[in-house]
A and B are shown apart, each in its own frame.
Chain A
Amino acid sequence: MILMKDVYKTYSNGVTALSGINVDIKQGEFVYIVGPSGAGKSTFIKLMYREEKPSSGTILINDMNLAELKNRQIPLLRRKIGVVFQDFKLLPKLTIYENIAYALEVIEEPQANIRKRVMDVLEEVGLKNKARSIPSELSGGEQQRVSIARAIVNRPQIVIADEPTGNLDPDTSWEIMKTFEDINSNGTTIIMATHSKEIVNTMKKRVIAIESSMIVRDEDQGEYGYEI
């Protein structure tokens, strides 16, 4: 499913963000990526949706080698994975419905299919009555659920989340985590970078810890392992 082999990433300013990363993630897994700030978590996540390109090594996602992916092929990769961010990244001028529909419009789905599928997903995340609102009219938790809905609307096999609860209060965070767990139970692989000790230690999953640009720990049913 996802395979990283000897992945190195050095930025153009000389900073080494990842060195010698080897990871194998199977279909249907739920993986937390933990570690101190600046350790390389974000780079790890960004490599997977080809926001960044590895300096060397191999990254295979569904047999697509991201190290050799051409720029014009990037959209094809991103249609196969859903991405959720800490700051939601919704299009501010579009309604909730239009934001989610966008992910289906890019793959040229017929309008009728789009309408049905978007309403289904909105129901799944419990926001059917907000379809005509614009993002700024929604609470943080609601906006994050919209962005999750957008990530799963074209039924990707992988959902990548970069600190999805970072901007949310604890109660809302648990609702969001519940949504992720539901998605995972349908067989979707979930990779989530997080800073939340509570979540990692309560909702036990595989934990990959990154420190000083290297993987220092990779265990099933792992602990968060840091004080904050």
Chain B
Amino acid sequence: MKFRTLMRHIRVGCRNIIRNGWMTIASIGAVTTTLILVSVFLALVLNLNEIAKNIENDVEIKTLVELGTSEEEVIALGKQLEEIDGVEAVTFSSNDEELQGLIDSMGEEGETWELFEQDNPLNHAFVVRAEVPQDTEKIAKEIQSFDNINKVVFGKDVVKQLFEFNNYARVIGIALIVALVFTAIFLISNTIKITIIARSTEIGIMKLVGATNGFIRWPFFIEGLLLGVLGSFIPIAIVLGGYYYLDSAVIDTISFSFVELLPFNPFAWQLSLLVLAIGAIIGVWGSVMSIRKYLKV
């Protein structure tokens, strides 16, 4: 294809968008509706996933060392912990650090605890983190069998429930997105059906004048691409605006310590780009599919 022919196709594609008037608006409307739903659900599912991942990664095993354990024994225990299969990291926290943490977490009331700085009643502790969060329980059991252990703490029930919840959330999320994709296909194929009849005669005439299939298809391709891109503008505005509002305003007021949304930058931008791409693909797919039937001789 010559360059001037490509330019011709782009010109004709743009011209068709303008001349088709209400059909253009209807098509853009279908794409817009679909993309709003898709983008909201994508934001929801991706964030749920992120939250789930964060919570899972926060699961730690706190191993309290028996009081009166010698320094050598503590060091040996640390090594022993590190050698357990499936352990990602072991962090040592001395009893002084533990006390400081306690004081900090108590705020003003914590001051009374400062008395204990003279004679610290707390244990040294190791914080153990599993490579795979699901292995937490197994590792905790293994640690319990070691010497010089006072106590092994991890939120047993919480962890179990959490993993179950996360699995459900993922399945539901995927199901929702699949359902949405089908809705999208339905919406767009319906819009296309309306335009088919008008286009079939036009395509027939174009072929009589000696146009190749490619020559006929290109302007439709451009038109579909533009429809998809135009249809993604409003959803993108909603994604950017809505997410910005959520990220700044809502989360500040609710402020669950464990709920941390994906950061606006880059997440909202990436999502916008994804929405734009989906819009373009839907538009091109719809447009090209609608004429395919009439291009066969």
The answer to whether B297 and A74 have CB atoms under 8 Å apart is yes
From known contacts A74-B297, A108-B2, infer whether A49 and B208 are also in contact, taking CB-CB under 8 Å: yes
The answer to whether B210 and A79 have CB atoms under 8 Å apart is yes
Residues of B within 8 A of A106 (CB): 206, 209-212, 215
13 more CB-based (< 8 A) A-B contacts, given A91-B202, A91-B205: A71-B297, A74-B297, A77-B210, A78-B208, A78-B209, A89-B204, A89-B205, A92-B202, A93-B20, A106-B206, A106-B210, A110-B4, A111-B4
Interface residue B5 (Cβ < 8 Å from any Cβ of A): yes
How far apart sit A50 and B163, CA to CA, in the bound complex (Å)?
67
A-side interface size class: 20 to 34
Interface residue A102 (Cβ < 8 Å from any Cβ of B): yes
- From residue 212 to 227 of chain B, which have CB atoms closer than 8 A to chain A? 212-213, 215
The 7 listed contacts between A and B (C-beta, < 8 Å) are A51-B208, A75-B210, A79-B210, A91-B202, A92-B202, A103-B210, A105-B215
Per-residue contact bits, chain B 275-287, to A (CB 8 Å; 1 contact, 0 not): 0000000000000
The answer to whether A102 and B208 have CB atoms under 8 Å apart is no
The answer to whether B212 and A72 have CB atoms under 8 Å apart is yes
Per-residue contact bits, chain B 1-40, to A (CB 8 Å; 1 contact, 0 not): 1101100100000001001100000000000000000000
From known contacts A71-B297, A74-B297, infer whether A102 and B2 are also in contact, taking CB-CB under 8 Å: no
From known contacts A72-B212, A93-B19, infer whether A102 and B206 are also in contact, taking CB-CB under 8 Å: yes
Residues of A within 8 A of B202 (CB): 91-93
How far apart sit A108 and B211, CA to CA, in the bound complex (Å)?
10
The answer to whether A75 and B212 have CB atoms under 8 Å apart is yes
How far apart sit A75 and B8, CA to CA, in the bound complex (Å)?
19
Residues of B within 8 A of A105 (CB): 5, 8, 215
Interface residue A107 (Cβ < 8 Å from any Cβ of B): yes
The distance from the CB of B207 to the nearest CB of chain A, in whole angstroms, is 7
Residues of A within 8 A of B2 (CB): 108
Residues of A within 8 A of B207 (CB): 74-75, 78
- From residue 57 to 99 of chain A, which have CB atoms closer than 8 A to chain B? 71-72, 74-79, 83, 89-93
Interface of chain B, helix or strand or loop or mixed?
A: helix
Per-residue contact bits, chain B 189-211, to A (CB 8 Å; 1 contact, 0 not): 00000000000001011111111
Residues of A within 8 A of B19 (CB): 93
Residues of A within 8 A of B4 (CB): 108, 110-111
From known contacts A74-B297, A91-B202, infer whether A103 and B5 are also in contact, taking CB-CB under 8 Å: no
Determine the residue in chain A with the shortest Cβ distance to B7.
Answer: A111
Determine the residue in chain B with the shortest Cβ distance to A81.
Answer: B210
Q: Which residue of A72, A91, A110 contacts B206 across the interface (Cβ within 8 Å)?
A: A91
**Closest 7 interchain pairs by CB?**
A78-B210, A79-B210, A106-B211, A75-B212, A75-B210, A103-B209, A89-B205
The answer to whether A107 and B210 have CB atoms under 8 Å apart is yes
Q: Which residue of B16, B20, B208, B212 contacts A89 across the interface (Cβ within 8 Å)?
A: B208
How far apart sit A102 and B212, CA to CA, in the bound complex (Å)?
12
The answer to whether A108 and B5 have CB atoms under 8 Å apart is yes
The distance from the CB of B196 to the nearest CB of chain A, in whole angstroms, is 15
Residues of B within 8 A of A74 (CB): 207, 297
How far apart sit A90 and B213, CA to CA, in the bound complex (Å)?
18
Interface residue A150 (Cβ < 8 Å from any Cβ of B): yes
The distance from the CB of B132 to the nearest CB of chain A, in whole angstroms, is 57
Residues of A within 8 A of B206 (CB): 91, 102, 106
Residues of A within 8 A of B297 (CB): 71, 74
Residues of B within 8 A of A91 (CB): 202, 205-206
How far apart sit A110 and B94, CA to CA, in the bound complex (Å)?
83
